Structures are given as structure tokens and as C-alpha cells.
Amino acid sequence: MTPHERRTRRAAECFQNATASLGTIHKGFSLFGLTRGQFSMIDLILACLDQVGPARISLWTWCIAEYEVQCFERLLMDHRITGALLVIDSQARTKNRHLLTRWQTVHGAKSIRWVVNHAKIATIETAGFKLLLRGSMNLNYNPRFEQFDVDEGHPGFELIRRTESELPLLRLDHSTAESRAATGIQKAFTQEQLKPFATLKTWAK
């Protein structure tokens, strides 16, 4: 039996905040939660840091909506984050440039990877824990059904870390073709299949 198969699995319907919903994190921790949107991915990250202490994190998201800016800025002020990587959709640079420039000021010039992305993932790593967080929620709370998973020692953690290490560092003025190449889309689709997506998606106002 593998360590993954021996992990303690738990599922919960969550009506409280992120801290109460998590319970106590331990080696082999595994939780699937169903919420009404009362907390966000960032709330989950902060609740985990409350238990595991200073950590290196990574955060995957599509964009930062106007109503999420204050929540996102909370990460820029948290001194428990010893290192951070943001994996974000390339189009975010047109809408979120000022905020993303601040992220690089705090976490370093190499702390952003520009890709074509819609995944909502986070990792938290300390000397004792490797947490993988994923779910439907965005960076702010959203009063509707949402789901999340938090796992310690899951093999997906290493997959995400390996993928992050393989992402090239693109210039801010990179092209759409470069961000697609960085994502590896060409490995999964033919050029003919990608033709309908040749133009940039228009941001909702």
C-alpha cells in the first residue's frame, strides 16, 4: 500500500470559515470540502499558513478581478511567505499590470510565469509539509456552491512543482504565441483545432 493510499481522507460540507473547515493539518492530511462560497483560495492559503508557519507558496489563477484586488494584496503583506510564484493567464497583464508589478517588487522579478491558464491551484511548502490546494473558487469569496481539496504529500504536489520548474520566464511584452508555447498547448491540439482561439478574448467590463 502506497503512502497516498494510507492517507487519512475526509469529506465535509462546510458552513464556517476556512480555519474551522480545515480542522487540524497533519502528515497525510486529505480533505474534500463543499462550501457555499464563504471563503476563497487566498483564505485557504492563509488558514494553512496559520498552522504550518512560514512557507514557500505558488498560486495559479486566471486573472485578478477588481473585487479581488484587496484580497490579493493581503498576500503581498504576509511576511510568512518566504518565496512565491504566480502562474497567471497572459491576458492578465493588460488588466492587472500595476498589481502584478507590485507582486514582482515583493517576490522578485522571476516570480511570475505567463501562460494560458484557467486552473485554480496553490501549493504550500515547509520543511515538514507539502500541501496541494485546488478548487473551483477564485481569489475572493463568492456566495454560491464551490468545492476545494487540500492534501498533504499528494503526488500532484510534485507534478505541479515540476511543471512550474519547466515554465519559461517570458518578457512582459511577450506574444500570444509565446504564452501558448510556454503552456504546451501544441502538444495537445493541432493548429487547425486552435484556429477558433486565434484572437484574444475580450475582458468582461
Domain ranges in the chain are 3-197
Q: In the structure grid, which three cell numbers stand for residue 84, read together?
A: 512565491
Residue 6: pLDDT band with limits 50, 70, 90: low
Q: What are phi and psi of 79, to 5 degrees?
A: -75, -5
- For the cut 70, the answer to whether the pLDDT of residue 144 exceeds it is yes
- For the cut 50, the answer to whether the pLDDT of residue 4 exceeds it is no
| Bridge partners, residue 204, by sequence | none
- For the cut 90, the answer to whether the pLDDT of residue 183 exceeds it is yes
User: Residue 65: which region, alpha, beta or left (left: phi > 0; alpha: psi -120 to 50)?
Assistant: beta
User: Do residues 137 and 33 make contact, with C-beta atoms less than 8 angstroms apart?
Assistant: no
Q: According to CATH, what is the number of the domain 3-197? A: 3.30.870
Entry pTM: 0.90
Q: Please compute the mean of the pLDDT values over residues 28-38 and round it to a whole number.
A: 96
Angle CA 150–114–142, to nearest 5? 45
At residue 196, what is the residue type? P
